[in-house]
Amino acid sequence: MKDFPRKSKLIAVRDWITRVSGRNTLLLLSLFVGVCGATVAIVVKNLLYFTTQLLTTALPEAQVNYLYLAFPMVGILLTVLFVRFFVKDDISHGVSIVLNAISNYGGKLRSHNVYSSMIASSLTVGFGGSVGMEAPIVLTGSAVGSNLARLFQLSPKQTILLLGCGSAAAMAAIFKAPIASVVFAIEVLMLDLTATTVVPLLISAATGTFLSLCFLGEDVMLTNAPTTPFQLHNIWVYIVIGVSAGLLSVYFLRTSRFVEGLFAKIKQWRVKLILGSVALGALIFIFPAFYGEGYENIASLMRDDSVSLFKNSPFFGIISHQYGILLLFLLGIVILKVVATAITNAAGGVGGVFAPSLFTGAFLGYLIAVTLRYFFDIDAPITNCVLAGMAGVLAGVMHAPLTGIFLIAELTTGFGLLIPLMVTSPIAYLTSKFFEPYSVYTRKLAQKGKLKTHNKDKYAVRQIDFLGLLDTNVRTVPLNATLRQYVEVIADSKRNIFVVIDDDRKFVGLLLMDDHRDVIFKPELYDTYRVRDLLYIPDVVVFNTDSAEEMIAKFHQTQNFNLPVITSDRKYLGFLSRAKVLDAYKDVIAEESDD
C-alpha cells in the first residue's frame, strides 16, 4: 500500500474547522482572528511600556533631558536597519497598506506584515518617536486575518472580511472600544455594511476587548475623565471647536505631505536619518510632550495641569511663571506636533497618525477652553473641550466622523458627551473634506487610481480597458475624395458613419450618411461634390491619453452613442461605443460583487 505524506498540522486544523463548522467557518475564524489580533495588541502595548520604563528610569534625572535628544535617533536607526536589511519592504503608513490590499490584491497581505510593523513601531515609539502605535497594530491584526484566510483558501471577499476582523480586534484591544472598532472597519476600511460582515466584526471586536480587559486591566484610557453634563448654552463652543478642528486637520494633512515631500527629495537614507533625528530631538528637547505617543499628556490636560508638561524643557522657568507664554507654547505644540510626526516617519521611523491626531485635538480643545477663560472670562468645560477636540481632529484627518464620536464616547466609559461629539465631529469632517477630498490614508492611492474602497464606481470605471473596446470597422474616406468615391464606400459598408482622414492619415472629421441623402442619390452631382464639402467636424473627440473620468465625461457632455478616438497627433484609432463601455462596467461590478 502506497504511503501518502502526512499533512502539516496547520492544514489538519484547517480541514477540521471546515468540516466541523461548515457554513459557520467565517464565524469561527472571526473568533480566532479576534484572539490573535488582541494578542498582538497586548504584546505590543506591553513591549512599548517596558521599553519606555527602561529608558526613563534607568538614567539619572539630571541626564534625562539631554539623553532624550539621542533616544529618537537610536530608535529610528534600529528601525531603519530592521526594515532595510531584514524586512526589505515598505511598511510605513499601515492603514494605507491595508486599503491597498483591499483595493488591488483581494485583501492579501504579505506574511511578514504579521510581525514586521509590530517590531518596527515598537522600536520607533519606544525610543521616543512622535508617532502612534495604532496603525502598525491595525496592519498586524489585518495581516493575521488575511494570512489565515489564505490558509483556508477563502475567496477575496471573505479574505477582506477576515482582514477587517483582524483590524477591528486589534483596535478594540488597544482602546477597549468594540463599537468604535467595528465602526472603524466599516468607515475607514469601507467594508460593506451587511449582516454577513457585521456579525464577524462584532465577534472579533468583542473578543479583542475581552482579552484586553483580562490582560491589561479594566481601566479604559480616559476612565476618570472629569466630564461635565452637556449644557445648551455651550453649544457654540463645540461649533467653534469643530470648525477649528477641521481647519487644523487640513493643516495637519498638508504639513505632513509637505514635510514628507522634502525628505523624499533626499536620496541618501543616512542623511534622512541624521537630519530627521536631529530635528526631532530638538523638537522633543523644547516640547517634551512630543516624546512617544503622548497619551499621558492628555490626562494632564484634563486635570488642567499643562505647566507640568514642560518640566524637562529648558523654558520651564519662563512658562511656569507667565501664563501668556504658556499659551504660546501650547499653540506651538498644536502647530508643531504634526511636524514631529512627519519627521519621525520621513526619517525612517514606523508609526501612525492616529495617536498624533488625538494628541493634537486634545491640545486644541484645551487651548480654546483656556483662551476663552483667560481673555474672555468664559468658563468653558475644559475636559469636554479636550475630548471634543480629540474627536474633531480625528474625524478631520481620517475623514471618519463616526469613529471619532464612538471612540471618545467609549474611552470615557459613558455617552454623556454624545451631543457635543455629534456637533464637533461632523463639523470638523465637513470642514476638512471641503479643502481636502481625501483622508491621510487614501490620498496617495486615489492619485494613483488604486482606491477601490471609497469610490467603487470610479474604481470600476478605471479598471475598464477603453482602448481594448475600440471599434475599428468604421471605414475611412480621404478628405479629397469625390462624392462618387464616397458613394462607392457607402455601397461597400453596412455603417452610416465614416471617418475622414487627410493625406497623412490624420483625423479630420466625420461623414454622417443621413445628413447627405439629398446628394448621394443624385448621380449628376457625383463628380461635382467632394468629401470636404460634406464634412462634419465634431466638437468633442476622445484622445487615447484621456483618463477614464475624462472619457466618461465626454459621453455625458455630447450624449453621443459613439465617439472617435485619436492620438495626440490626431492619428485615427477607432470608435468608442457607449454601449460597450456600459457592458464592460457591468462586468467589472459583477466581478467585484462575486463571492
pLDDT digits (tens, 9 = 90+) for 98-149: 988 888 888 899 999 999 998 999 899 988 899 998 899 999 999 999 998 8
Residues 439 and 568 in one domain: no
CB atoms closer than 10 angstroms to residue 543:
14
What's at 184, amino acid-wise? Answer: F
Helix, strand, or coil here: 186?
Answer: helix
Using the predicted structure, report yes or no on whether residue 425 has a pLDDT greater than 90: yes
Q: How many domains does the chain have?
A: 3
Same domain, 172 and 134: yes
* Same-domain check for residues 426 and 508: no
Domain-located, residue 362:
yes
What burial class does residue 390 get, using C-beta atoms within 10 Å of its C-beta: 0-12 exposed, 13-18 middle, 19+ buried? Answer: buried
Residues whose CB is less than 8 angstroms from the CB of residue 316 and which lie 6 or more positions away in sequence, other chains included:
310
Nearest residue to 553 via CA among 495, 466, 469, 447: 466
Same domain as 440, residue 471? no
Is 225 among the domain residues? Answer: no
Tell me, yes or no, whether 485 and 429 share the same domain: no
Residue 456 within any structural domain of the chain: no
Give residue 470's pLDDT. Answer: 79
Where does a domain end: 216, 251, 278?
Answer: 216
Which structural domain range is residue 376 located in? Answer: 232-448
Judgement on whether residues 131 and 84 belong to the same structural domain of the protein: yes
Cell of 351: 508609526
Tell whether 453 is covered by a domain: no
3-state secondary structure labels for all residues of 486-535: HHHHHHCCCCCEEEEECCCCEEEEEEEHHHHHHHHCCHHHCCCCEHHHHC
Same domain, 298 and 152: no
Model-wide pTM > 0.75: yes
Lowest mean pLDDT across 210-214, 285-289, 462-466: 462-466
CB 559 within 8 Å of CB 578: no
Q: Are 521 and 544 in contact (CB under 8 A)?
A: no
Residues 41 and 148 in one domain: yes
Is residue 564 within 8 A of residue 572, CB to CB? The reply is yes
Q: Domain for residue 337, yes or no?
A: yes
Of 32-36, 274-278, 517-521, the one with minimum mean pLDDT is 517-521
Does the pLDDT of residue 407 top 50, yes or no? yes
C-alpha–C-alpha distance, residues 483 and 479, integer Å: 11
Q: Is 248 in the same domain as 391?
A: yes
CATH of residue 580's domain is: 3.10.580.10
Query: Do residue 300 and residue 174 come from a single domain?
Result: no
Residue 62 sits in a domain whose CATH number is 1.10.3080.10
Q: What is the pLDDT of residues 323-339, one digit of tens each?
A: 888 999 999 999 999 99
Residues 297 and 155 in one domain: no
Q: Flag whether 255 is in a domain.
A: yes
Which whole number is the average pLDDT over 272-297?
91
Return d(Cα 506, Cα 504) in angstroms, integer: 5
Pick the last residue of a domain from 392, 418, 448.
Answer: 448
**Claim to verify: residue 203 and residue 237 sit in the same structural domain:** no
Interval 152-208: pLDDT, tens: 888 888 888 999 999 999 999 989 899 999 999 988 887 777 777 889 999 999 999
